[in-house]
Homo-oligomer: A and B are copies of this chain.
Amino acid sequence: MKTVDLNADLGESFGAYTIGCDETIIPLITTANIACGYHAGDAQVMAKSVRLCRENGTALGAHPGLPDLVGFGRRVMKVTPEEARNDVLYQVGALSAIAHAEGLTLHHVKLHGALYNMAAKDYALSKAIFEGLKAFDPNLTMLVLSGSEMQKAAEDLGMKTACEVFADRAYMADGSLVPRSVPGSMITDENEAVRRTVRMVKEGIVTAIDGSDVPVRADSVCVHGDGEKALLFTRRLKEALENEGITLRTFA
């Protein structure tokens, strides 16, 4: 039986500020990545997010980022591997404690924003972060970009690894994402986005921006959690995957 996971980055509200339709999206997806207070989220939002995951049976993961709240963790910062390791441990531990107090256990970790992009290209950075996480809890799965240095580092450490693909992003011939600044980087036609995703999940292949076929490992598809359009697309993608006989289920 073919299965795939749908994950979304959530728990991004902060204090009086709201981002994301967490209550609506969490029942649709199988895995939630919850912000941990550095780039978004706070202790109250985290507690609420954990309860939403518990009520919906959604797998709960940590989504740690750079210490840049005003920049939403999207600005590259020159952090050392050691700094990143401890900053990630700090955030993952914070969510882990809140989860335990609600009777849940952390299922996985996915890095956020600029830290995700930096680690995707930087083996040493990924390794330092993942070594810390392995020493904390060897049962955690690393949710990483398919084909990235993150994937290599997690696998080399013998950690459980799940790879994610993007429905709405174009790929390079080497399997990396086309940078957002490049024309054609986004798949704006929803039909095409659905078709590409189904193919990535069923065949493990995506057509790159140069027309070549590229292998990808699609354990999980990342969907967006904010806005009506994102919700509609997620519902549609889910239906398309189920129509293909694919079971939606979090990665093991």
Q: Which residues of A come within 8 Å of B, CB atoms?
A: 14-19, 37, 40, 42-44, 46-47, 67-72, 74-79, 82-83, 86-87, 89-98, 100-103, 114, 132-133, 135-137
Contact = CB atoms under 8 A, between A and B. Distances in A.
A43 B86 contact: yes
B72 A70 contact: no
Highest count of chain B CB atoms <10 Å: which of A16, A19, A83: A16
Contacts of A43: 83, 86-87, 89-90
Contacts of A89: 43, 47, 94, 97-98, 101
Most chain B beta-carbon contacts within 10 A, residue among A14, A40, A70, A74: A70
A137 B93 contact: no
Give the number of times this chain occurs in the complex, counting copies: 4
Given A87-B43, A94-B90, A94-B91, A100 B68 contact: no
A98 B70 contact: no
Nearest to A84: B43
B69 A15 contact: yes
Contacts of A74: 16
A83 B44 contact: yes
B46 A14 contact: no
Given A16-B72, A44-B86, A86-B98, 11 more contacts: A37-B90, A46-B86, A68-B77, A71-B77, A76-B76, A76-B78, A77-B77, A89-B97, A93-B95, A100-B136, A100-B137
Contacts of A133: 101
A47 to B, nearest CB: 5
Given A75-B77, A91-B94, A100-B136, A70 B68 contact: no
A44 B77 CA distance: 16
B93 A96 contact: yes
Nearest to A76: B78
B16 A135 contact: no
